[in-house]
Chains A and B, each alone.
Chain A
């Protein structure tokens, strides 16, 4: 086999690199889904290009605004979120700074309230979109973890007030699609049971409206949530480890 006939080439629809005339390893010009990256840099927003990477087309102004609103609303899960806590515990204990982002991303990848649940919520919404929400609420029960379905349920036993406010803000200020509208109708029915929309369900609904596929939803959710977690984790690297001592023995109950 010659070096020009390698055993299989990586294939991509996303990125074209034009080689430098003197060195084929060096990229002289880059195109993202056909658009020159430097032209995008001077004429598009970050969110435009983010959606371009996943959908291979630049979004409409309304879609860009929708995703950007969601991204800001979800930019920081807050210092009490398990994934942020993982980042903060790492930062406080002087973990290498470059590990904080992957630690947070990995933690929020879980199937219970994390990115994997976005995947399941994406499927749930797509699969039930044609169903009557009242009928669905009457025929389906909450599980033992208080989930009505992936992306829907209770948060610490109640409706998630912040996500409820964010979803209403999106409804008021953005042009949404049929998935989000159906989710809001379902959420409204769930309120009678003191249950509602969760962060992962909201993200899944909007990803569906934006044409983001199921697996892509996982990574995009992790990405959207990361900035706040990263900032919290890095902030803790500058705090003394004595800020948060290990839990005292009397509050650690061990019963083998």
Chain B
């Protein structure tokens, strides 16, 4: 074995490095963390965005209020936290046919830890077509931009006509749904919003107008992504904030599907014959023996 090389005694002092002075900002952070988010004061308290956990928040706020506070720095009302918690319920169906839940079920089938299953399922739902987090960001960006144009005088018809077309219909994130056209979550959300005292803001009214046009002309309407996008814009959140708040919103359904298959036999989640996979690649061929050039 060669001689071990210990860099500790050989690292020259800082001022012996030739420096362009461009590295100053990293010098500043070497061995130092600066945070505006929070601090654990061991044995005493925790501060979250300026609030004392044990004096201001603990047993006084809900977990969802803390989740949003951690994600955005905003301490939201109990009503809005309740709205979001109910919204999360509708993003985590315990049905292992749904893509992220397939991941959870397959983790269960392979007996991973519950954490691996839930984290992987949540990663799977970080998707541009479903999942409620990235899709909320996309829908909010679309709605915000379209509303700006609408306020500048562009008609709903023009806005719809300007959207890309897929399968003969406008492809607008937040309107229509990958699997079923009618979204069973919309009406309960409208009722919940009213019960909690939220009035329809300008983005929701605009989203309803878009939805009405799409229903009339294309038999498609707003889905939960579009509804959530409009509601959260009316509450003053940015698309990035909502992505951040909702990044684990499918987690509970994934965990459920993980537990469903953890106790079942190995390979019990949709086992496949070899021929259940359609192969469309090159036909069997011999491996070339000569050097390839």
Q: Which of A36-73 contact B (CB under 8 A)?
A: 36, 39-40, 43-44, 56, 58-62
Q: Does A31 contact B (CB under 8 A)?
A: yes
In the docked arrangement, what's the CA distance between A44 and B272, Å? 30
A2 within 8 A of B: no
| B279:A12 contact, CB within 8 angstroms | yes
Tell me whether B281 and A60 are in contact (CB under 8 A): no
Q: Please, what's the 1-or-0 string for B10-37, where 1 marks a CB less than 8 Å from any CB in chain A?
A: 0000000000101111100001111111
CB of A185 closer than 8 Å to a CB of B = no
Measured between beta carbons, the chain B residues less than 8 angstroms from A158 are 20, 22-23
Q: How far is the CB of A182 from chain B (nearest CB, A)?
A: 24
Of A18-26, A162-170, A197-205, A229-237, the stretch lying at the interface with chain B is A18-26
Which of these binds chain B: A110-118, A125-133, A214-222, A245-253? Answer: A245-253
Contact partner of A34 (CB less than 8 A), chosen from B38, B113, B284, is B284
How many residues from B make CB contacts under 8 Å with A? 49
Of chain A, the residue at the smallest CB distance from B41 is: A249
Q: Are the CB atoms of B279 and A255 closer together than 8 Å? A: no
A88 within 8 A of B: no
A144 interfacial contact with B, CB 8 Å: no
A39 touching B286, Cβ below 8 Å = yes
Pick the residue among B32, B35, B272, B278 that contacts A25 (CB under 8 A). Answer: B272
CB distance from A144 to the nearest CB of B (A): 12
The reply to whether B287 and A44 form a contact with Cβ atoms under 8 Å apart is: yes
- Report Cα–Cα, A254/B288, bound state, in Å: 63
A106 within 8 A of B: yes
Is B277 interfacial (CB-CB < 8 Å)? yes
* Neighbouring A residues of B112 by C-beta, 8 Å: 98
Partner of A33, one of B281, B289, B292: B281
Closest-by-CB residue of A relative to B272 is: A25
Which interface class (under 10, 10 to 19, 20 to 34, 35 or more) fits A? Answer: 35 or more
CB of B293 within 8 Å of the partner chain: yes
Contacts of A191 in B (CB 8 A): none
Inter-subunit contact B116/A98 (CB<8 Å): yes
B282 at the interface (CB under 8 A from A): yes
Rounded to whole angstroms, the CA-CA distance of A14 and B20 in the bound complex is: 50
Q: Is B167 at the interface (CB under 8 A from chain A)?
A: no
Is A138 on the interface with B (CB-CB < 8 A)? no
The distance from the CB of A16 to the nearest CB of chain B, in whole angstroms, is: 4
Contact A9 B23 (CB under 8 A): no
Chain B positions within 8 Å of A61 at CB level: 291-293
Interface check B5, CB cutoff 8 A: no
A-B contact pairs, 8 of them (CB 8 A): A18-B274, A27-B274, A34-B285, A35-B284, A36-B287, A99-B113, A251-B33, A254-B47
